[in-house]
């Protein structure tokens, strides 16, 4: 393996930039994961549980509006609209804080892994009161758990209220439960299916439809409400034991610990090791990764019962991870954040941008590039394949943003001849260096670097 600081910053970090030096070696990448999380403290995003009072207020306002007379309804509508506007601004502020973290961080591998696991455990705020809460879910369930065992991350994400609502688990009741006898709700298999297919064993994993059904019955009791977030409801749980992948769980009084145990067992399954290993290799290295790289990560994962630090170390130590030819296309958020970092814009300045500027400069361009922040089309998250992101409209938007945004974000643009070398190092081709230096203006030269194939891929 030949370590290259520029490759490390581009492939495993949030990009190069004049304000933060690249990592010195692979150990620095790993050490950064356990370093103090200064970015979370500098650019705060509220935890999900901190939003519960606002969610209760929003739900209460919805009910008041529904019960209001025609005379009073306009006033209730106005209050509801004001709450929606406040929620949208909070979401935009969270996006600005996330970009600021990517721009300022000395530990880019951490930010990349947070994004990777947030996508692995995708949620979308389906109910109006939850539409702005996905960043808080990531802050609460994902970010604190990316360096421990995978089972701990799984247990933090799967029963989280955002996941339970997104996959309709909070409405699922066991067919033989007391709740089923008193109402019309029935069993919902969404969460069980996605846990097996997406979160653990993988679509080709060794499970059957019966395993999905049994796991769905075991999951009954997992629920959420505005008053207190997550709670376990024995009255909704299916009585009796359930058998998943040949192992029996429960059988007595319904217990949350039985659900935690099945998640731990699924996390340690060989199919999960293979699934997680391949996803890491695909995300960081190649859409079609070297089989030996996947095998190496999977072996480290299995040998340590899913220790994530051991899995990351296996990824970084394998020669295939350091191929000099960049193969991964930057997704829109990655592209924008890396460009801003390369320009030397200070994170505090990004975090201070108004919601309107964030909307115009980040949200709308990302949508045009094919990525609505925290709103993928399904629970499988964002596609990794290059062709999904390299559409004519997406490329046109990347070019337009590269021409217009840098002078606004960084009025004192760098010399393009220095910028291209500082940003891409040895990756910059002679043709790109010449073209950037020959540009008529600094803005054109900087844009040429940002829209180059060398920058678009990591």
- What pLDDT, in 10s, does the model give residues 252-294? 899 999 999 999 999 999 999 999 999 999 999 999 999 999 9
Long-range contacts made by residues 410-414, C-beta under 8 angstroms, separation at least 24? 410/343, 410/344, 410/345, 413/343, 413/442, 413/443, 413/446, 414/18, 414/343, 414/344, 414/442, 414/446
- How high is the pLDDT of residue 92? 96
The burial of 213, by beta-carbon neighbours within 10 Å (0-12 exposed, 13-18 middle, 19 or more buried), is given as middle
CA atoms within a 13 Å half-sphere pointing along the CA-CB vector of 287: 13
Mean pLDDT, to the nearest integer, of 363-370? Answer: 98
- Contact status, residue 159 vs residue 259, Cβ threshold 8 Å: yes
**What are the tens digits of pLDDT across the range 192-234?**
999 999 999 999 999 999 999 999 999 999 999 988 899 999 9
- How high is the pLDDT of residue 48? 96
Report how far residue 139's alpha carbon sits from residue 40's, in angstroms, rounded to the nearest whole number. 9
Report how far residue 34's alpha carbon sits from residue 1's, in angstroms, rounded to the nearest whole number. 24
- Contact status, residue 339 vs residue 85, Cβ threshold 8 Å: no
**What are the tens digits of pLDDT across the range 285-325?**
999 999 999 999 999 999 999 999 999 999 999 999 998 88
**What are the tens digits of pLDDT across the range 103-158?**
999 999 999 999 999 999 999 999 889 999 999 999 999 999 999 999 999 999 99
Report how far residue 355's alpha carbon sits from residue 361's, in angstroms, rounded to the nearest whole number. 10
Mean pLDDT, to the nearest integer, of 399-425? Answer: 96
Report the share of the chain in percent with pLDDT over 70.
99
DSSP 238: P
The CA-atom distances, in angstroms, between 188 and each of 57, 60, 173, 302 are 28, 27, 7, 31
């Amino acid at each position: 393996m030949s370590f290259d600081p520029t490759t490390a910053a581009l492939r495993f970090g949030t990009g190069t930039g004049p304000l933060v030096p690249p990592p010195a070696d692979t150990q620095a990448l790993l050490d950064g994961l356990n370093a103090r999380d200064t970015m979370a403290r500098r650019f705060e995003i509220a935890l999900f549980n901190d939003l519960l009072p606002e969610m209760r207020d929003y739900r209460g306002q919805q009910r008041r509006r529904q019960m209001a007379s025609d005379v009073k309804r306009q006033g209730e509508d106005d209050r509801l609209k004001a709450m929606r506007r406040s929620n949208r601004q909070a979401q935009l502020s969270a996006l600005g804080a996330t970009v600021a973290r990517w721009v300022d961080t000395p530990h880019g591998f951490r930010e990349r892994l947070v994004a990777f696991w947030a996508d692995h455990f995708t949620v979308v705020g389906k109910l109006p009161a939850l539409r702005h809460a996905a960043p808080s879910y990531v802050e609460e369930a994902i970010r604190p758990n990316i360096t421990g065992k995978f089972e701990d991350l799984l247990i933090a994400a799967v029963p989280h209220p955002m996941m339970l609502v997104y996959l309709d688990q909070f409405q699922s009741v066991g067919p033989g439960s007391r709740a089923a006898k008193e109402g019309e709700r029935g069993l919902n298999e969404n969460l069980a299916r996605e846990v097996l297919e997406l979160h653990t064993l993988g679509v080709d994993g060794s499970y059957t439809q019966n395993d999905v059904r049994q796991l769905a019955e075991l999951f009954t009791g997992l629920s959420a409400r505005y008053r207190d977030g997550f709670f376990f409801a024995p009255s909704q749980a299916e009585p009796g034991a359930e058998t998943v992948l040949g192992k029996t769980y429960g059988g007595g009084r319904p217990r949350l610990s039985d659900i935690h145990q099945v998640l731990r067992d699924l996390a340690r399954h060989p199919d999960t090791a293979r699934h997680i290993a391949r996803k890491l290799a695909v995300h960081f290295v190649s859409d079609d990764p070297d089989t030996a790289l996947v095998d190496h990560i999977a072996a480290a994962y299995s040998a340590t019962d899913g220790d994530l630090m051991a899995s990351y170390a296996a990824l970084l130590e394998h020669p295939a991870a350091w191929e000099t030819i960049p193969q991964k296309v930057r997704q829109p958020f990655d592209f924008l954040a890396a460009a801003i970092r390369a320009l030397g814009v200070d994170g505090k300045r990004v975090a201070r941008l108004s919601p309107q500027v964030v909307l115009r400069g980040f949200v709308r361009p990302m949508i045009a590039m094919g990525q609505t922040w925290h709103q993928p089309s399904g629970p499988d998250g964002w596609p990794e394949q290059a062709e999904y992101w390299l559409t004519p409209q997406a490329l046109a938007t990347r070019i337009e943003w590269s021409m217009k945004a840098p002078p606004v974000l960084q009025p004192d643009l760098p010399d393009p001849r220095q910028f291209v070398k500082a940003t891409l190092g040895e990756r910059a081709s002679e043709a790109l260096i010449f073209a950037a230096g020959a540009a008529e203006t600094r803005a054109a030269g900087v844009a040429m670097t940002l829209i180059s194939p060398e920058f678009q891929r990591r």
